[in-house]
Amino acid sequence: MIPLRDENPTRKRSYITLGLVLTCFTVFGYELFVQATGGDDALDDLVNAWGVVPDKVTASLAAGQIISLATLGLVTSLFLHASWLHVLGNMLYLWIFGNNIEDRFGHFRYLAFYLAAGIAAGLTQVAADPHSTVPLVGASGAIAGLLGAYLVLYPGARIESIVFLGFFYQLLRVPAVIVLGFWFVLQLIDGLTSIGSTATSGGGVAVFAHIGGFGLGLLVGLAIRGAARMRGPAEGSAPALALAAAPAVAPATPVEGGPAGGSASGPALGDGPPAGGSVG
């Protein structure tokens, strides 16, 4: 299931979301430049310096150094990505779901929440594997926080998605609670089945970061919804309620096509995580 857009209009321009998308693409362009001019070793050095390395973060916190180069990686890692597929997928989710959260929170509180979710995601991954030397890069921990908040605040919003059915696919309008709930269940299953496993020591998807970011988003979303109920109906809440009353799914004509999937591996930036790094 690949989301394409949501039917959830906003009242304000999403300046912060647009800025985050442009920043991530700019940084990724710089990564490509570093790799092209210095090779894979130079890219590995960049990722190790500015990504989240759990072993370094654990040592820094154990020494009482809350603010250090190691912990700074909890923020800088959010703007690094491992491949074209990685950055494009993350930016798609950020663009679809981030604008409504920015509209609800306001620009600066949204940015603070985004960074807080990213930090919480990184710390969750550190707690899951505190002595790992595999660097973590990617914005998906922070974006998972947006998804958690969106699930609570706009559960009935319709998400136009491509749903693959074998060698065919359909365009369906699916409620957010199904799209995002299904996504989180997959992350939870992956996380639980990886406990005690060393399979991700060479790199992979940092599912615990996703779980940590999503969990914070759920809590913040519940707090905001509870506060809104105490104050009464908030201005601008009508669109979400109207969307919730729409039909659950509206299928389009089936179109033949190949299933999306598959991943490449190798040291090149466009092929996978550099130096076996985990992606978030």
Q: Each residue's pLDDT tens digit in the chain (280 positions)?
A: 788 999 999 999 999 999 999 999 999 999 999 999 999 999 999 999 999 999 999 999 999 999 999 999 999 999 999 999 999 999 999 999 999 999 999 999 999 999 999 999 999 999 999 999 999 999 999 999 999 999 999 999 999 988 887 778 888 898 999 989 888 887 777 666 655 554 344 456 788 899 999 999 999 999 999 988 888 754 444 444 334 334 444 444 333 344 333 333 333 444 444 445 666 6
Supply the pLDDT for residue 197: 52
The tally of domains found in the chain comes to 1
Residue 276: its pLDDT value, please? 52
The pLDDT of residue 203? 55
Backbone angles phi, psi at 81, to 5 degrees: -140, 155
pLDDT score, position 229:
86
What is the model's pLDDT at position 259? 37
Residue 199, CA distances (Å) to 75, 187, 189, 190, 234 in order: 26, 16, 15, 12, 47
Tell me the CATH number at 236: 1.20.1540.10
- Predicted confidence at residue 266, as pLDDT, reads 35
Q: Whole-model pTM? A: 0.79
For 222, residues 6+ apart whose C-beta sits below 8 A from its C-beta are 152
CB atoms within 10 A of CB 166: 6
Give the model's pLDDT for residue 186: 77
Q: 273: domain range? A: 2-279
Residue 260 has what pLDDT?
Answer: 38
| Residue 142, pLDDT score | 96
Q: For residue 7, with 0-12 CB atoms within 10 Å meaning exposed, 13-18 middle and 19 or more buried, which class applies?
A: middle
pLDDT (0 to 100) of residue 249: 44
